[in-house]
């Protein structure tokens, strides 16, 4: 696994715009190398802001959107179209505005979908999807994602893997149902940390002073049981993309000026 690198921006909007530009470059490079790209999307304020910035960026048209596979790292187990679903927010922010192929948008099943109100069945179905998408070159039950976008919670959760929760101990299943989350809604479907670690690059994005302690602990060597975000690593690269308040307790980092 790669060692974390830290990039600090002076404001959340600048972080989102720079991350969107970085993502365009990564997708274009992947398509040039292999003919297609794959990205794991995240929800949350910063994750959706990045998609909004990508939608507004002229460079977005450098991407052949018909050759991008889009996955979700986790999802709130709510009815289809619910405004709190990560899928709903991502579609409004970006996906409804670019020519993605519907069969390459791999959403997690909603609570009113084919599996009804059974998050375990929804998780198993998504795990089956990942297994079908994995090729011999991936050497495992999930595809090697080009980029996995992740958020970080105030207590150090990432995906829907919370400190000390059963999901943080999971080593065999690639996708799990998560119940009794400390943040609403309480029921979710989530990739595991082991699945995120099958990504070529993992980008952890977070902003705000309330995240500073968790960020510093994760980068300071905390274990993933205590701080799941510390266990999110990419095969080739792990980026922590922070604004100045979120990086306030991390030593020896520098935020470039707005200009």
Neighbour tally for 58: CB within 10 Å = 7
- Helix/strand/coil for 163: coil
Q: What is the domain partition of the chain in residue ranges?
A: 4-243
- Helix/strand/coil for 158: strand
> For 126, what's the count of Cα atoms within 13 Å in the CB-facing half-sphere?
30
Please say if the pLDDT value at position 26 is more than 70: yes
pTM of the model: 0.95
d(CA 203, CA 91): 21
pLDDT for position 252: 75
Query: Which of 178, 242, 209, 208 is closest to 228 using CA atoms?
Result: 178
Phi, psi of 66 (to 5 degrees): -75, -10
pLDDT for position 259: 35
pLDDT tens track for 143-169: 999 999 999 999 999 999 999 999 999
Length of the chain: 259
Instruction: Provide mean pLDDT across the span 237-254.
Output: 91
pLDDT tens track for 52-108: 999 999 999 999 999 999 999 999 999 999 999 999 999 999 999 999 999 999 999
What share of the chain has pLDDT > 70, as a percent? Answer: 97
Residue 254 — pLDDT band, cuts 50, 70, 90? Answer: low
- Helix/strand/coil for 259: coil
Q: Which CATH architecture has domain 4-243?
A: 3-Layer(aba) Sandwich (3.40)
- Considering only the C-alpha atoms of the chain, give the largest distance between any 2 of them, rounded to a whole number of Å: 51
pLDDT for position 251: 86
d(CA 166, CA 185): 17
- Helix/strand/coil for 102: helix
In order of 47, 173, 214, the CA distances from 189 in angstroms are 17, 12, 23
d(CA 237, CA 223): 19
Q: Read off the tokens for 30.
A: 């992947």
First to last CA, the chain: 34
d(CA 43, CA 243): 18
Residue 256 — pLDDT band, cuts 50, 70, 90? Answer: low
Residue 253 — pLDDT band, cuts 50, 70, 90? Answer: low
Cβ atoms of 83 and 53 within 8 Å: the answer is: no
């Amino acid at each position: 696994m790669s060692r974390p690198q830290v990039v600090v921006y002076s404001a959340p909007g600048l972080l989102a715009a720079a991350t969107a530009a970085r993502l365009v470059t990564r997708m274009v490079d992947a398509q040039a190398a292999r003919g297609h790209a794959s990205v794991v999307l995240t929800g949350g304020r910063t994750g959706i802001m990045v998609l909004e910035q990508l939608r507004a960026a002229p460079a977005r048209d450098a991407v052949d959107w018909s050759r991008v596979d889009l996955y979700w790292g986790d999802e709130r187990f709510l009815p289809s179209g619910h405004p709190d679903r990560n899928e709903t927010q991502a579609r409004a922010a970006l996906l409804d505005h670019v020519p993605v192929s519907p069969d390459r948008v791999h959403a997690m099943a909603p609570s009113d979908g084919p599996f009804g109100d059974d998050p375990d069945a929804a998780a198993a179905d998504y795990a089956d999807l990942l297994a079908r998408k994995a090729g011999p070159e991936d050497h495992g039950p999930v595809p090697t994602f080009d980029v996995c976008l992740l958020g970080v919670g105030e207590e150090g959760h990432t995906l829907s893997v919370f400190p000390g929760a059963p999901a943080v101990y999971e080593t065999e299943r690639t996708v799990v149902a998560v119940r009794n989350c400390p943040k609403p809604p309480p029921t979710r479907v989530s990739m595991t940390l082991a699945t995120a670690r099958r990504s070529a690059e993992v980008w952890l994005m977070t902003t705000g002073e309330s995240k500073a302690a968790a960020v510093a602990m994760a980068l300071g060597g905390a274990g993933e049981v205590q701080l799941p975000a510390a266990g999110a690593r990419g095969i080739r690269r792990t980026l922590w993309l922070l604004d100045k308040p979120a990086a306030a307790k991390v030593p020896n980092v520098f935020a470039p000026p707005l200009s």
